[in-house]
Amino acid sequence: MVKDISVEKKLWNKWLRNKNDENANELIENYMYLVHYHVQRIAVNLPKNVNKEDIRSLGLIGLYDAILKFDNSRDLKFDTYASFRVKGAIIDGLRKEDWLPRSTRDKVKKVDQATILLEQKLQRNVTTNEVAEYLELPVDEIEEIIKDSFFSNLLSMEDKNKTSEESKEGIGYLIADDREPLPEGNMIQQENYRELTTCIQQLNENEQMVLSLFYDQELTFTEIGKILELTTSRISQIHKQAIVKVRQLYQKINK
């Protein structure tokens, strides 16, 4: 996207002179592409019962919050700051609403248990077809449940680790703060990152690759599948397994 820097500057000058609704709306319109981007990326992995317009509304809340709290004196691009806020607002809103029905959660648990049982029995990663055959369910239904499982893991990994007094952040909760961290807080954060890196290094090659491509390179499961020559559902499975392993390892370190 090609942006007109001069237009952006004028919009910010107007907002800083008069923080009214009209000027806020102009800034929102200018940065609306950030909301569209995160809505599209997150919506791909949402259950069918989640309305895209609801996700868009959550993103708009994040964008407006970013405009209100952004400090122009800091050496930080608004696009970067707002992107974290938008994504964070969407994830936080989804988690609070608990969009997954009880019946879906039960199916996710059933598939997870079957996958673990088969992998222990066969001593290797199992395919979607094998899980479907074991549970006597259609393959497309298993793939839909795996997709819902990813959504469930997405929300759970955003939760803070409540087992620690320091209130450590979850794997995906990397929303930028609008205040400079205190030295002791920064030390704790760096220690968390080191612990997380140690956990990720204990994963197998495919699991590390999927996490890197998804979180660092921001590729979709379909794009990652093409790179690794695997199906989208298999990439989703690997991602879920990797997240579960990292959470277990991280919890062991912090016991």
Residue 176 pLDDT? 40
Answer whether residue 1 shows pLDDT above 70.
no
Could you give the CA distance from residue 184 to residue 68 in angstroms, rounded to a whole number? 27
Answer whether residue 158 shows pLDDT above 50.
no
Q: Tell me the pLDDT band of 150, cut-offs 50, 70 and 90.
A: low
Domains detected in the chain: 5-97 (1.10.1740.10), 102-253 (1.20.140.160)
Could you give the CA distance from residue 88 to residue 174 in angstroms, rounded to a whole number? 8
Could you give the CA distance from residue 190 to residue 129 in angstroms, rounded to a whole number? 41
Could you give the CA distance from residue 129 to residue 115 in angstroms, rounded to a whole number? 11
Residue 102 pLDDT? 73
Answer whether residue 219 shows pLDDT above 50.
yes
Residue 193 pLDDT? 62
Q: Specify whether the backbone of 61 is left (phi greater than 0), alpha (psi in -120 to 50) or beta.
A: alpha
Are 77 and 3 in contact by the 8 Å Cβ rule? The answer is no
Q: Indicate whether this model's pTM tops 0.85.
A: no
CA 176 to chain centre: 14
Residue 212 pLDDT? 81
Instruction: With CA atoms as reference, report the closest residue to 63 among 77, 39, 83, 43.
Output: 83
Q: Tell me the pLDDT band of 151, cut-offs 50, 70 and 90.
A: low
Are 11 and 27 in contact by the 8 Å Cβ rule? The answer is yes
Residue 43 pLDDT? 77
Rg over CA atoms, the chain: 20
Q: 196 by DSSP, 3-state: which?
A: helix
Structural tokens at position 47: 């259950």
Residue 32 pLDDT? 92
